[in-house]
Chain A
Amino acid sequence: MKTAITLNVNGKEYPLEVKANEILLNVLRDRLGLMGTKYGCGIGECGDCTVLLDGKAILSCQSLAFTADGKKITTIEGLEHNGSLHPLQQAFIDEGAVQCGYCTPGMILSAKALLDTKPDPSDQEIKQAIRGNFCRCTGYTNIIRAIKTASEKIKDQGRKQT
């Protein structure tokens, strides 16, 4: 049996029919072609599949697609606007926080959920925010630097706008 739902992903509405046991990760990747959201373990341990659901970082491999009906989903593909990278994306490149890059989408989205609620986090708060995102390459140091750099940049942009 399938349920009719509407997923709002990166500002675009997708009417879909999903089975009760369909996982959000698979719907995003296999049905919507949004391959930036990654599979790493399937049991909620690695954080590769992180997306934002109404602004909160969640694990899409642990979420049934129908539970996201009508909610706003942001994937990594939704961060770039008119060809400009989000400050987090730019900072990850500039600070050498990207090595193989497989964990990068989930890591950036966890960081975005943090900065959206806490624009000026401490090192400890950053570490807590990404503790569910596992990176095997970097040792996290440059990732923490990148998140700090992005936080500064977002604050600067905010000051210029006001």
Chain B
Amino acid sequence: MSDKTYYFLGKDFPRKEGRARVTGREVYPSDVVLPGMLYGKILRSPRPHARIKSIDFSGAQKLGAVVLAPNDTPQEFFNVRQVSVPRSTYKDWRILSDHVRQVGDPYAAVAAETEELAEQAAEAVQVEWELLPAYFSIEEAMAAEDNLIHDKVYLQDKEIPIQNNIACTREVTEGDVDKGFAEAEVIVENEFVTPRVYHCQVEPRGCTCRPEPDGGITVWPSTQALHNTRILLGQLFDIPLNKVNVIRITGGGHFGSGIHTNPVILITVALALKAGKPVKILQSREEDLYDHCRYPTRYTLKIGAKKDGTLTAGQMKAWVDIGSHHVQALAFLGVLAGWWHSLYRLPNMRYQGVAVYTNKAPTCAMQGYGAPQVTFGVETTMTILAEKLNLDPIELRANNYVGLGEIFWGQGPTIRSLIHSDGVKELLYTGAEKIGWDKRPDPKAQSGRLRRGIGVARGFHTSGTGAPVPGEVKDFTTVQVKVNEDGSIDILTALMDHGGGTLDAAAKLVAEEFGVPFDKVGISPADTRSTGYDVCTHATRGVYCGAGAVLDVAQDTKKILLDYASRILNAPADSLKTRPDEAENEGIIYVEGMPEKNITIREVAQTAMNNDWGTAISARSVRKVNCPPAYTTFFVEVEVDMETGMVRILRVVAGSDAGTVINPALAKGQLEGGFYRGAGMALLEDTDYDPKTGQLTNRGLLTDYKMLGAVDLPDPEKFEIFFAHTYEPTGPMGAKGIGEAALNPVPAAVAAAIHNATGIWFTKLPILPEDILRAVREERKRDGKKAPGKPQAVPER
């Protein structure tokens, strides 16, 4: 939040999509209906690892269904995630394969005139399976010599052999680690485990595709990545890109599950092309639970420090169980090192990451992309270090964080940039004051059934993946900004808004730049034929990179507009200023120092049209050469019931350094939502598998995928949010990101609060009531006290 004053930034306006969304008129992928459309159904493997020996579609065909077998689809290898550059892209996917690698893996599809008929047709397909050994843990998978989950994978176009189900590895070293540890006066080492969380976006993923008479296709998918989806579809189905039109449509939540082109999109297109008719597939919730989840991690983290708290060295070894396919685990292994190295100054570090295939749902990006996982271990270690060194955990953080003027590489070792704004100390000290840090309980002094604790954790996310030198990840956005003949303005870009307010932020920046009322700036409907490339809305890049690109292009358009105005006003363009006239609903252009010499934008646009000067319009691609850290700090107060192990969240103080805050209410909403999902990861959410059947133990049913609900969260008045007073000089009017930073430190903060209440550190997430009870019992046994959980009034039998 900067101290500058703006017409629109920092003020709340009804969001542009608000009315459609509260009246039920927003169109989501599940709402797309086309004349003559067929309904598709995907056939999914009931086995965790198998090959098709034979498949018989005759029953489905008798019902009049269109059927799609693996050999009806292109058999080239690809990666569903197209964010990385080709040289770093591993390819192990095919649209349909006769080698299934998890329960729920697609192997065929059918389409029919009704959903009911499609389901009947799917049930009529007969398959004979050859069963293969399946692996549900990293140990089992790495012990395997043959019957591997993938026997060959391509890196770009080069075939690489796979051994022991290891998908890829990555090492990063800086400085001299052995020397660093030799200099350390205290060393803390622990193993941390983080869960396989399901995104649970409210709308299961789906797609509709219409084949066009010219051989092209129009596609309405659930996706975060319009242009990457277009490029992949063109490549796989050999359709010229000017005939592939992917329509931007609001998804019912993504959280990272749509950065890659989900298999349902590819299968829908293949079915539609085979049928020669529009086809729609909407995954059921059960199918969706087998479709994607967060990368789980297990890692050892060792950090050494001097007595004054200066860190001397760090070592991390991480194992990632990636499931049945590679959604670019190489990039994920890179960011694990990046998040770690960019939290605190570490002169010497060694990192090794290993990604291993298992017969489970494929893992992919989910809010934070490895940062919540790593921040959990790093922040826990920092508090343990502070305790060992008898330092205040806040001071240890304030003295060691990576901040202003330093180089950081949050998005991995190839994406390095300089930090230009830093509100970390303000977040730490203001938050500490608000929560009452100095009065936090002493865990050793607490007794009784209910124990209270306060915890802190800090973190950040990069605002996008831009850097001075391009790295492994693509990052740019293409925008067109046009002034209409009534003085209104249209923004055309493939940038997406997942609900956080990215496109509203873009519109506000344009309103501010042009000096026109907010209502006069519109966001045009977008598709891939009418827009230039945008990498996708991910990596907290929406406002900084995406809306930042919109602002840069708006400035180009404004130059043209002011040139037209200068001809009319007979004053040099450099002397012209703009301001909104809210009462008249106009943008005004005036000569600086001579406000009476003015004209409305409407009149300028009309004069330009009537004199054949043209339209004030411009378009180009913009790449940001930075990805500033959006810092956050969470203070959490909990109450732990020592007899049931239940944790109640009493209070939250969340601080965010987002630079200039463009949409205050929506920015707060990001922090509240981030906390909710982070606390769920800390206390509840996980997906595990039954190795006997290969199924999820919840069998894909939402009934047994538990999340926190409204009743589990603190009342609104117990959730306090504040913003640091910073201005990001490289950002659009001082703004940087917020989205993923709103979750990253949360699991660590919750774990720290539980420690403050119980005196016990938990290094495995989620921290379930039974984990707490078990740990408390062990602790008491060690201390020779009576175990809790057995009320003392009940005599032993």
A136 & B716 in contact (Cβ 8 Å cutoff): no
Give the Cβ gap from B168 to chain A, nearest Cβ, in Å: 30
Looking at A37, A46, A141, A143, the one whose CB has the most chain B CB atoms below 10 A away is: A141
Give the Cβ gap from A134 to chain B, nearest Cβ, in Å: 7
Q: Is A42 an interface residue (CB 8 A)?
A: yes
Q: Is B561 an interface residue (CB 8 A)?
A: no
Q: Is B669 an interface residue (CB 8 A)?
A: yes
Give the Cβ gap from A55 to chain B, nearest Cβ, in Å: 19
Give the Cβ gap from B105 to chain A, nearest Cβ, in Å: 22
In chain B, residues 644-690, which have Cβ atoms closer than 8 Å to a Cβ of chain A?
665-666, 668-669, 672-677
Q: Is B723 an interface residue (CB 8 A)?
A: no
Give the Cβ gap from B752 to chain A, nearest Cβ, in Å: 20
> CA of A139 to CA of B708 in the docked complex: distance in angstroms?
9
Q: Is B702 an interface residue (CB 8 A)?
A: yes
B672 & A98 in contact (Cβ 8 Å cutoff): no
Interface locus among B19-27, B319-327, B786-794 = B19-27
Contact (A93, B18) CB under 8 Å given A43-B285, A130-B710, A136-B200:
yes
Q: Is B30 an interface residue (CB 8 A)?
A: yes
Contact (A93, B15) CB under 8 Å given A131-B711, A134-B707:
yes
Contact (A85, B19) CB under 8 Å given A40-B203, A136-B202, A141-B719:
yes
B22 & A92 in contact (Cβ 8 Å cutoff): yes
Give the Cβ gap from A16 to chain B, nearest Cβ, in Å: 17
> CA of A93 to CA of B16 in the docked complex: distance in angstroms?
9
B702 & A36 in contact (Cβ 8 Å cutoff): no
Contact (A102, B252) CB under 8 Å given A45-B702, A96-B668, A136-B202:
yes
> CA of A93 to CA of B415 in the docked complex: distance in angstroms?
38
B19 & A127 in contact (Cβ 8 Å cutoff): no
| Neighbouring A residues of B254 by C-beta, 8 Å | 100
Q: Is B28 an interface residue (CB 8 A)?
A: yes
Interface locus among A65-73, A74-82, A113-121 = A74-82
Count, A-B residue pairs, CB within 8 A? 172
Contact (A100, B703) CB under 8 Å given A40-B202, A105-B24, A142-B665:
no
What's the dominant secondary structure at chain A's contact region?
loop
Contact (A40, B21) CB under 8 Å given A46-B202, A100-B251, A100-B252:
no
> CA of A38 to CA of B24 in the docked complex: distance in angstroms?
9
Q: Is B284 an interface residue (CB 8 A)?
A: yes
| Neighbouring B residues of A43 by C-beta, 8 Å | 285, 701-703
In chain A, residues 14-42, which have Cβ atoms closer than 8 Å to a Cβ of chain B?
34-42
Give the Cβ gap from B187 to chain A, nearest Cβ, in Å: 38
B24 & A93 in contact (Cβ 8 Å cutoff): no
Residue of A nearest to B255 (CB): A136
Pick from A46, A94, A131, A142: contact of B14, CB below 8 A.
A94
A99 & B669 in contact (Cβ 8 Å cutoff): yes
| Neighbouring B residues of A128 by C-beta, 8 Å | 711
Q: Is B191 an interface residue (CB 8 A)?
A: no
Looking at B203, B254, B668, B674, the one whose CB has the most chain A CB atoms below 10 A away is: B203
A142 & B669 in contact (Cβ 8 Å cutoff): yes
| Neighbouring B residues of A38 by C-beta, 8 Å | 28, 30, 202-203, 252
Q: Is A144 an interface residue (CB 8 A)?
A: yes
B251 & A139 in contact (Cβ 8 Å cutoff): no
> CA of A27 to CA of B284 in the docked complex: distance in angstroms?
18
> CA of A46 to CA of B706 in the docked complex: distance in angstroms?
11
Contact (A141, B665) CB under 8 Å given A98-B22, A131-B709:
no
| Neighbouring B residues of A35 by C-beta, 8 Å | 24, 27, 31
Q: Is A58 an interface residue (CB 8 A)?
A: no
A-B contact pairs, 29 of them (CB 8 A): A40-B252, A41-B285, A42-B284, A76-B22, A77-B25, A90-B22, A92-B22, A95-B665, A96-B15, A96-B668, A98-B17, A99-B669, A100-B202, A100-B251, A101-B22, A101-B26, A101-B499, A104-B21, A131-B709, A131-B711, A134-B709, A136-B200, A138-B672, A140-B709, A140-B713, A142-B665, A142-B669, A143-B710, A145-B716
Chain B contacts to A: CB under 8 angstroms:
12, 14-15, 17-28, 30-31, 199-204, 250-255, 282, 284-285, 498-500, 665-666, 668-669, 672-677, 701-703, 707, 709-711, 713, 715-716, 719
Chain A contacts to B: CB under 8 angstroms:
34-43, 45-46, 48, 75-77, 79-80, 85, 89-90, 92-105, 108, 123, 126-128, 130-131, 133-145
